[in-house]
Amino acid sequence: MPFSPEAGLQAVRHMQTRASCRSFDDRPVPDELLQEILSAGLHAASGGNLQPWSVIIERDRDRARRLSELCGGQKFIAEAPVNLLFLLDWHRYQVYAAQKDAPFTAYKSYMHFLIGVEDVLCAAQSMETACHLVGLGSCYVGSCNHCGEALAELYRLPQLTYPVVLLSVGWPKTQPATAPKLDPSVLIFEGQYPDLTDDQIFAAYEEKLRGRTLSLPDKEPFRGEMLEKLRRSLATTYDSGKVEQILHAADEQGFINETQRRFGLHYHARDMYENGGRILKMMDKQGLRPFDALDKHEGEDCNEN
C-alpha cells in the first residue's frame, strides 16, 4: 500500500505524543481494528525470524478482574476492554524441531532467552505503537511475571512458555499527559560514548524526576514496614551509620525520593533469591532454564535431557 513520507512523518510526530494510558471508557475495541493491531505485531522484527512469542487476547470481564488482582490490584487492567498477555514461547518450536530432527535446546540457552524476550518486546511494542496511532490507549504491566504460576494455571500455559508482559488496551477516558523523559544529551550519543560528568548525569535525572517523592504512610505498622524494607536494601550498599542517617532523614521529612523508592523498594537483587527464588523457580517450573550452563563445567555436556 502506498504510504507517503509526509504521512509517515506525521505518524512519527504522533509517536512523540505517546503516553501510557491507565483509564479507559466503556467502548469496546472493534475486532477488525484489533486484528490490524495484532497484525502489526506479527510483522515485527525477530532474531532469526524464530518468533518465539505468543499472545493471549483477554476480553472476558471476570478474567480481566482476576488478572487485575493477580497483577497487584492495578484497576485499569479490569477496566480495559482488551488485555494482551505476551508470552515467551519455546513450546511451539520444540514440537516442530523434534519432527525435524533438530537438537533443540533453546529453552536452556541464555542467548535464546535474551533474544526471545527481546522478540516478545519487539512484537508488543509494534502493537503498542499501532494502538497509539489509531487513537487507542494502552499500558504495559510488567508485574504479570510475578504471578506466573497463577497465569500458567489460568491460561493453561504449556511447558516452555513464560508470561513476559501484559498490555492493557482501550479507548482513553482522558488523554494521558506525556511523561518526563531524560534529556537526549545523556541518552543519545553520536559515534562514541561521551565522558559525561557526574554533575551532568545528576542534573539530567534531577530535571526528569523533579519533585517526585513517595510519602511514607502516616500509620503504623505500614510506615515502619516501609522503612524496614528500605533499611534492608540500604544495608546491602551502605555502612550502618549511613543507613541510619538516610532512614532518619526519610522519617523526619516524611518521604523518600523516587530513586530510593525504585531501587530500595522494588526488584532489589535480594528478591531474586528470597522467597525461595520465586521468579527463577517459576521459570524452572515452566521448563525454562537459561542459566543452566552456569552449573555445568567446561567441556561437560550441558544439553542433556
Ligand X SMILES: Cc1cc2nc3c(=O)[nH]c(=O)nc-3n(C[C@H](O)[C@H](O)[C@H](O)COP(=O)(O)O)c2cc1C
Residue 23 interacting with ligand X (CB under 6 A): no
Are the C-beta atoms of 40 and 130 separated by less than 8 Å?
yes
Report the residue from 73, 135, 142, 194 that binds ligand X according to the rule CB under 6 A.
142
Q: Which stretch binds ligand X (CB under 6 A): 7-15, 135-143, 232-240, 258-266?
A: 135-143
Residue 19 interacting with ligand X (CB under 6 A): yes
Are the C-beta atoms of 62 and 99 separated by less than 8 Å?
no
Enumerate residues 234-293 that contact ligand X by CB under 6 A. none
Reference 125, options 18, 35, 210; nearest CA is: 18
Q: Minimum CB separation from ligand X for residue 148, in Å?
A: 14
Residue 132 interacting with ligand X (CB under 6 A): no
Q: Using the minimum distance from each CB to ligand X, give the nearer residue, 34 or 117.
A: 117
Residue 139 interacting with ligand X (CB under 6 A): yes
Are the C-beta atoms of 137 and 24 separated by less than 8 Å?
yes
DSSP letters, 212-244, are -EEEPPSSTTHHHHHHHHHHHHHTTTS-HHHHH
Are the C-beta atoms of 1 and 24 separated by less than 8 Å?
no
Enumerate residues 149-188 that contact ligand X by CB under 6 A. 165, 179
Q: Minimum CB separation from ligand X for residue 214, in Å?
A: 14
Q: Using the minimum distance from each CB to ligand X, give the nearer residue, 72 or 194.
A: 72
Residue 20 interacting with ligand X (CB under 6 A): yes
Q: Which stretch binds ligand X (CB under 6 A): 37-45, 81-89, 140-148, 229-237?
A: 140-148
- Number of other residues whose CB lies within 10 A of the CB of residue 178: 11
Q: How far is CA 250 from the centre of its chain?
A: 29
Residue 1 interacting with ligand X (CB under 6 A): no
Backbone angles phi, psi at 126, to 5 degrees: -60, -40
Residue where the block lists cell 543507613? 243
Using CB under 6 A as the binding criterion, the count of chain residues that bind ligand X stands at: 11
Q: Which stretch binds ligand X (CB under 6 A): 7-15, 35-43, 134-142, 278-286?
A: 134-142
Helix (H) or strand (E) holding 163: strand 161-170
DSSP 147: S
Q: Which residues bind ligand X (CB under 6 A)?
A: 19-20, 22, 74, 139-143, 165, 179
